[in-house]
Amino acid sequence: MSEERKFRWIGTRPIRHDGLDKVTGRANFGADFSLPGMLHGRVLRSPHAHARIVSIDTRPALALEGVKAVLVGADLPDIPSQIGSGGEQQVDFRDLSHNVLARDKVLYDGHALAAVAATSPRIAAEALERIVVEYQVLPHVLTVDEAMAPGAPILHEDMFTKGIEPTPSEPSNVAGRVELGHGDPEQGFADADVILEREFTTQTVHQGYIEPHAVVARAGEDGQCMVWCCTQGAFMVRAYCAKLLGLDVSQIKVIPSEIGGGFGGKTTVYLEPLALLLSRKSGRPVKMVMDRGEVFRASGPTSGARVRVKLGAKRDGTFTGADVSLYYDAGAFKGSPVMAGGMTILAPYKIPHVKIECFDVVVNKPKVAAYRAPGAPISAFGGESLIDELADELGMDPIELRMKNAVSEGTKAVYGPKFRRIGFEETLEALRSHPHYSAPLGPNQGRGVAAGFWFNGGMQSSASVNVNEDGTAVVISGCPDIGGSRASLALMAAEELQIPVERIRPVVGDTETVGYNDLTGGSRVTFATGMAVIQAAQDVVAQLRKRAAKIWEVELDGVRWEDGRAICTNGNGETPEPLTIRDLARRAARTGGPIAGTASLTARGIGPSFGAHICDVEVDRETGRVSVVRYTAVQDAGKAIHPSYVEGQMQGGAAQGIGWALNEAYLYDENGRLENPGFLDYRIPVASDLPMIDTVIVEVANPMHPYGVRGVGETPIVPPLAAVANAVRHATGVRFCDLPLSPPRVLEGIEAAR
């Protein structure tokens, strides 16, 4: 158990290994890479939300001097519907292929339907303008309510709602229904003294990563392909491209660049298959980079949703029953994170009778992608807002109400299994005892609290630890670093090798230099890949002890590893001088050759993570503008490997959640065209919008990890939507059930209350 272990490096705050390259501009991101003879690719995108493609004439584009290749949907293999994995969520490869390049219909503003490769970006842009497309414009739907209404235009004539018995005979925009829960909600409500019910809505929002999608692809004459791209998973890109293009994975090598943000949005493919196919057609490397408008119009945001929550409790605050319905839009193809929303909405609480219905609904918007704790912030907005109201109705402190119903070790989760050792109660206690919670409020200010939960992931990881001749070490993993994993993996290797972390060099490998790794997502890398690094480093230590025993001609049991040195403990005769890792590395050729450790695993024993936040806002009653004036995030990290990175994750998640609550939303016109595809009109928080976000790291060790680690990256975005909304309610006396809480909406609510 990590509580019993004394660490030397774990829990320290070394300077990040990749920091100098990034602050000096030497780090290579996706768009920084080029090859000799490279062509430039561009994508033709639909101006319509829903239309049938009557015809596409690409001949005028091909006739333009400098155009070397043109693609349309018919150039991609026809793939049957098949569910597969490789990303953060399961994917239907037919849908993925049709999202990469449309076939018979375009299904959203920005849907790709052709691509060109030319000798310059200017010629490629002109070629797009020459492609002649004839559309039959069709009616569109943009919300779950529109999509589910009787007589709504159908996006997919072959989609029949799954999860309903008997299976419907008519096609529908509802891709599926799933029900979770236990007990009898009606009995739960019969046992209640107070019952509250409300509906909440959220809008489509984007992850807002700074770096656009970018790729360079080269298809060789021998069939071997190279892909350089910004991605959260090189092995995912390899698998998806192979599937979509009918190749073997062995034909594709993927090299991940540095990544300028992802937050789940780079866990799928958009440009990569197109660049590969254009390269194959043209015989030259092809570079493709999205502009900001394309990122918003054509890469996956997260769902807009409607959430209905009904909750019952006794007078003493004990929850008795809950009934929840979640309707998430999936964009143009099935696969919203509604299931995760249903599994997380009430996961922090003990409720004897629960029913949760989850509906996956397609609409004429970009296919959604993962966004940091996919689905959970949306459902938590509904659940935690209603709990806040219930606390007022019962005259209870909102943290006390949550404490009374908090899950603990042995509690059966809403989604099935029993919790092992978890730290939700400790997290709430730390929140309640924080000075922020008792600080006075000023005029027009309000305070809100909310809690959140995320599972965290395990999945497959490989790592290697190689010892250099000078006794330094290289740690190689296949997980792109989007949140500090280089530092955390280096710290774990340093802890096992017992050498300074500065003597460890962490490297992100490509698909041919390290064993298979699932993608960076699900808050899994420090947990799962960290375990692989620990095992690989332990393999190295075992080899070092064995080599020292050989040099000293003693039994292996007579050698221990301490402070980066082999120490002889056999006690027979004169004790030899300890051998450092440098000493042993220099003698490697005479004791067995290079020293390298490897490990591969499917990580088990994930540690669920809980967080709880306090938010203070000030509301301008004349304009409706909401300002966040103080914010505190508390979270159980199990064990903070690099506390600065953990704090940064907590602050980053809170900042994104605050933006989601106050400003962010996709805005469409009456024709289904996105009106704000850029950071000027799609407003994410900047430094001047936020106070310094205070953080408190709670450490309740995950008993299934050698250091006690729990994933931390996703939980921090779950509470903020509700925390902000609850604070605005206490500042104004008005419950707002629809996000974002933009000034016009808040002012309208205040004036209506007057």
pLDDT tens-place string over residues 183-192: 999 999 999 9
Summarize the confidence of residues 483-508 as an average pLDDT.
97
Q: Please check whether residue 27 is in contact with residue 16, taking contact to mean a CB–CB distance below 8 angstroms.
A: no
pLDDT of 575 > 90? The answer is no
pLDDT at site 88: 75
- 4 confidence band (pLDDT: 50, 70, 90): low
Q: For position 574, what pLDDT does the model report?
A: 81
How many CB atoms sit inside 10 A of residue 21's CB?
Answer: 13
Average pLDDT for 395-421: 96
Range with the lowest mean pLDDT among 39-43, 481-485, 500-504, 542-546? 481-485
> Tell me, what's the pLDDT at 335?
97
Query: Can you tell me the mean pLDDT for 359-379?
Result: 98
657: pLDDT confidence band, cut at 50, 70 and 90?
very high
pLDDT band at 436 (very low <50, low <70, confident <90, very high): very high
Q: Is a pLDDT exceeding 60 seen at residue 2?
A: no
Report the alpha-carbon distance of residue 286 to residue 510 in Å, rounded. 19
Q: Which two tokens stand for residue 661?
A: 């609550």
Structure tokens at 350: 């003990």
Distances (CA, A) of 381 to 321, 335, 350: 18, 21, 18
For 409-421, the DSSP string reads TTPBPTTSSBP-S
Cβ–Cβ < 8 Å for 71, 114: yes
Q: Which CA distances in Å does 574 have to 547, 565, 570? A: 19, 18, 10
State the average pLDDT for the chain. Answer: 97
Is 650 a residue whose pLDDT tops 60? yes
pLDDT band, very low/low/confident/very high, at 249 (cuts 50, 70, 90): very high
pLDDT at 213 over 80: yes
Q: Give the span between the Cα atoms of 363 and 298, in whole angstroms.
A: 14
| Percentage of the residues of the chain whose pLDDT score is greater than 70 | 99
Instruction: Give pLDDT tens digits for 531-572.
Output: 999 999 999 999 999 999 999 999 999 999 999 999 999 876
The whole-angstrom separation of Cα 483 and Cα 395 is 41
What SS3 state is found at 292?
A: helix
Contacts of 303 (CB under 8 A, 6+ apart): 202, 204, 328, 329, 330, 331, 336, 337, 338, 368, 375, 378
pLDDT for 1 beyond 50: no
Confidence band, pLDDT 50/70/90 cuts, at residue 5: confident
Specify the length of the chain in residues: 754
C-alpha–C-alpha distance, residues 466 and 475, integer Å: 7
SS3 737: coil
Statement: residue 216 has pLDDT above 70? yes
**In which band, very low, low, confident or very high, does the pLDDT at 143 lie, cut at 50, 70 and 90?**
very high
Q: Report the 10 Å Cβ neighbour count for 736.
A: 21
